[in-house]
Structure 1
Amino acid sequence: MTVLDEQERELVALTAEFVDRRVRPRVAEFEAEDRYPDDFIEEMKQLGFFGLLVPEEHGGTGVSTACFARVTEELARGWMSLAGAIGGHSVISYLLATVGTEEQRAAYLPRMADGGLRATMALTEPGGGSDLQAMRTVGTRVGDEYEIRGSKTWISNAQHSGLIGLLCRTDRDAVPAHTGMSVLLVEPGPGLTVSEKIPKLGYRGIEACELTFDAMRVPAGAVLGGEPGRGWVQMMRGLEVGRVQVAARAVGVAQAALASATRYAQERESFGTPIWKHQSVGNLLADMATKVQAARLLTLDAADKLDRGVRADMEAGMAKLFASETAMQVALDAMRVHGGYGYSKEFDVERYFRDAPLMILGEGTNEIQRNVIAAQWIARHAI
């Protein structure tokens, strides 16, 4: 498993300090108003969080995926929405760095490294959900351009992104359909409408919107990697990074819920003793702590596979599946430890319980993760 070097350990420690000193004392004010955290975002730019997966030669930090996961965990421990602010951006950074043309890397990565240009990815369509092969958004070649028609939904950071990694069909006759898909690097402009933010249960502060493309034109050079028809393969690799990031977010939320429950169980007394000494509460804490550590190790194992350049779709799926289900269960158990106070907005565990479901549903639902895991497991153990 990847061992962080000294510089990476210092970065994780710096993130933890930022979370404890700056984020946790103020998160409630942004959360309550569903307000975009401009102050935090500016500090995150200065700390280099937007350039974590951008190579050093393009101005980024170029840390390991394992370090990226640990930084994500710390951010989510403070406020999951901040980890979401670098999620899609980091996937597009990774894709540009690994499969982008020299011109694309030079045009985008230096500006993405310092957060001056923020990116998001656009896959999901209204009514499509996880069925990406039923995609209807089309980029049609017209001379030296592509004309885009269609719509995407649940796109995080849509109002604040200057670059969209759009997965669409550029060959409608391709069989199977995914062989005719490309990732187009789209900069907002005429022909693109970004909706108002979609109201959400949790994951507040960071917007999710619908994108509508109405004959929007982009240059032919906007095809990621320069060769159309490779978008499906590219984005599936990018989603391995994305699922590690979502798993790390889940670990962060679970860790925060566990910490809150641990503190409360020592402070609160009933029948003349701290409640953690009651077996029912002590057992909850034991199970919570074990699950959080298991989720963290699964996440770092998947990150290690990516760092070694080997296929990690099964491992990333396992990490995302287990960590997200763990976050949901640990958040609920933390509410149980708090009793009635866990249902109050006065305590952070209420927020953790609202944020946790996103990781179960996002970046491919857990039902889809199980399909991916099963298929890869059989493929690797075929008789």
Structure 2
Amino acid sequence: MALDAETRAQFIETLGRFVRERLRPIEAKVAEDDAIPAQIIAEMRELGLFGLSIPEEYGGLGLSLSDEIEVMFTFCQTSPAFRSAFGTNVGIGSQGLVIDGTAAQKARYLPKLATGELVASFCLTEPEAGSDAASLKTSARLDGDTYVLNGTKRYITNAPHAGLFTVMARTDAGNRGAGGISAFAVEAGTPGVHVGKPDKKMGQQGAKIADVIFEDARVPAANLIGGIEGKGFKTAMKVLDRGRLHISSVCVGVATRLLEDSIAYARERKQFGQAISEFQLVQAMLADCKTELYAAQCMVRDAARRFDAGENVSTEAACAKYFCSEMVGRVADRAVQIHGGAGYVADYGIERFYRDVRIFRIYEGTSQIQQMVIARGLTRA
């Protein structure tokens, strides 16, 4: 569903106020505590953020991707850990069900995902399968009316809070490629499903990742997403196209915040008797940030429009994710430079953002994987 212009503007204005009044004041505390307050999670649920992309018939907002990215441009002008709290419900955690789930699977899980009552995680990466996702080793063996899952998934976002896991596992042991992989909806609490200790990370404190281990975990055959074996890898790739554009919009939002903070600091900070914003070399860094940010916005908006029109945007999504994730890293680096010593110490929060944005060049496909996807798209075309 595409929102009318007035409704979208009102929703984005409400989110902007929420970011300024509720989220920015507690950014440092969330990082220090490595936890987002339960009250903030409740308020995000009330705003409908967990159900942005889930169809209205299941209780979500059912936003088009074009609307979703505009929402993220605004919401993500704060610590990205806040976005991560609901990001898997909006993207990779739910979209496998939205795109390829059976009617019964959608009816069972999507309403709870839309409200945030249920948090979903996406289990693809393994200790020896990340960029080469098709080589995953987690197995799913049919035994009567259940599948028996065994294997380990690594770096799974929101795993400690998840009530549902979208799990990619190999159902055809004789097919070592993508065609042997199927997708399952696995409920937390299933005997044999264990979540490891949360990992300590470089950045994005407050957002949790952990291993998920499957030891003879019995999953009902009815939880095979789509009801067909061998379609899991295709489901994952469909999910990642939208997910990569979502992450691209997150990068744009964070870069916008970094640029605004850098402009404000450059106007206030004085050296040699004048504001450093008057110095051409500082102006050049600000100009470079704005130019790259504008280019990123245009890329994401164009790709989202094409996605909503039903076009295959695998190449464009990879272009956007590659450019935007690298762009926000460069903007963060310039922000530290503009802030000077203040950018290196914790009080201003710039060094925290510098660490936070580093992950964007890694998850949902590294920059190098995006280059491969782009090149493959070009040569096949």
TM norm structure 1:
0.96
Deviation of the 1:183 alpha carbon = 0.8
Q: CA deviation at 1:279?
A: 0.6
Q: How far off its partner does 1:15 sit? A: 1.3
Greater than 4 Å deviation, 4+ residue runs: none
Distance in structure 1 (CA, Å) of the matches to 2:70 and 2:41: 18
In the other structure, the counterpart of 1:275 is: 276
Aligned to 2:45: 45
Deviation, 1:5, is 2.9
Tell me how far 1:162 sits from its aligned partner: 0.7
Aligned-partner Cα distance in 2 for 1:75–1:197: 25
- Identify the residue that residue 313 of structure 1 maps to in structure 2: 314
Amino acid at match of 2:250: R
Equivalent position of 1:18 in the other structure: 18
Provide the C-alpha distance between the structure 1 equivalents of 2:207 and 2:335, rounded to a whole number of angstroms: 25
Post-superposition CA distance 1:206-232 (Å, at most 9, x none) = 110001100000000111111111111
Partner of 2:221: 220
Which stretch of structure 1 is more off in the superposition, 28-37 or 222-231?
A: 28-37
Query: Could you report, residue by residue, the CA deviation over 1:292-346 in whole angstroms, capped at 9, with x for unpaired residues?
Result: 1111221122221221121111111111111111111000101111111100100
Structure 2 match to 1:330:
331
Q: Structure 2 CA distance, aligned partners of 1:308 and 1:94? A: 18
Hey, what does 1:193 align to over in structure 2?
194
Matching of residues 21-40 of structure 1 within 5 Å: 21-40=21-40
Q: Does 1:161 align with 2:162?
A: yes
- Given that residues 191 and 217 in structure 1 are in contact (C-alpha distance below 8 angstroms), is that contact kept between their aligned partners in structure 2? yes
Q: Deviation at 1:112?
A: 1.1
* Number of the residue aligned with 2:72: 72
How many pairs does the alignment contain?
A: 378
Q: Which runs of 5+ in 1 are unaligned?
A: none
Judge conservation of contact 2:89–2:114 (CA < 8 Å) in 1.
Answer: no
The separation in 2 between residues aligned to 1:17 and 1:36, in whole angstroms, is 18
Equivalence for 1:369? 370
Question: Counterparts in 2 of 1:31-180, with a 5 A limit?
Answer: 31-91=31-91, 92-174=93-175, 177-180=177-180
Q: Distance in 2 between matches of 1:187 and 1:292?
A: 40
Corresponding residue SS for 2:182: strand
Aligned residue identity for 1:182: S
Offset of residue 98 of structure 1: 2.4
Secondary structure of 2:25's match?
A: coil
Letter in 2 for 1:137: T
Contact 1:154/1:209 (<8 A) preserved: yes
8 Å Cα contact 2:128/2:136 also seen in 1? no
The amino acid of 1:253's aligned partner reads V
Q: Which residue of 2 aligns with 1:203?
A: 204
TM-score normalized by the length of structure 2: 0.96
Identity across the alignment (%):
36
Q: CA shift at 1:4, angstroms?
A: 6.2
1:310–1:97 Cα change, 3 Å: same
Q: CA RMSD in A?
A: 1.4
The answer for the alignment partner of 1:293 in structure 2 is: 294
Paired letter, 2:272: F
Secondary structure at 1:202 match in 2: coil
**Preserved contact between residue 88 and residue 242 of structure 1 (Cα < 8 Å):** no
Per-residue Cα deviation, 1:123-165 (whole angstroms, up to 9, x for no partner): 1001322111110001111110000000001001001111111
Deviation, 1:76, is 2.1
The answer as to whether partners of 2:53 and 2:68 remain within 8 angstroms in 1 is yes
Q: Secondary structure at the match of 1:120?
A: strand
- Structure-1 residue corresponding to 2:354: 353
